Amino acid sequence: AQIAGTTIGEVMPNRPAERAGVESGDEIVAVSGVETSTWEDVVKTISASGDTVALTIRKAETGDRVNLSIPTEMTQQDGEARRIIGITPELQFQPAGLFTAIQRGAEALPLLHRSPERIELRRDALQLGSPSAHSVSVSIERRRRFRPP
């Protein structure tokens, strides 16, 4: 999966972004007055912001540009304090053959232990392609309501 520019994939419930009216599919155009084209820049700027962050977004439904002032929340991740507003990036998935899918999965495994949330592989998300396609698609879903034991 690849991050789709600055398009918002998920807006977490009961977080500042949701309360400000941000919706899945909205695109972040600027953060703190600086235009941005990468999710990494969005995260860095929000993390380094103060109690509020200024976002300019393009609404998915209308295409209108909207300026928002969103309060930030402090969180601990990987032993570091950072500010968040409760959004995740939109991911684009690309089809892959069996061996490529296995290789990508193996490359992702070391990253899974770093998540503060449990990663859950859902059996119904494993889809085997036809024998001629030799493709495997695995969906990994983060479940916020479950915490590691």
Reported as a pLDDT band with limits 50, 70 and 90, residue 1 is low
The model's pTM is: 0.62
E strands, 48-118, in order = 52-58, 65-71, 73-77, 80-84, 87-92
Question: How much is the mean pLDDT over the chain?
Answer: 75
**Can you tell me the distance from the alpha carbon of 52 to that of 67, in angstroms, rounded to the nearest whole number?**
13
State the pLDDT at residue 85: 93
Q: What is the pLDDT of residues 20-36, one digit of tens each?
A: 999 999 999 999 999 99
Instruction: Please report the sign of the dihedral spanned by the C-alpha atoms of residue 130, residue 134, residue 135, residue 136.
Output: positive
Q: Are 41 and 31 in contact (CB under 8 A)?
A: yes
Q: What is the pLDDT of residues 35-90, one digit of tens each?
A: 998 988 998 899 888 999 999 999 999 999 999 999 999 988 778 888 999 998 88
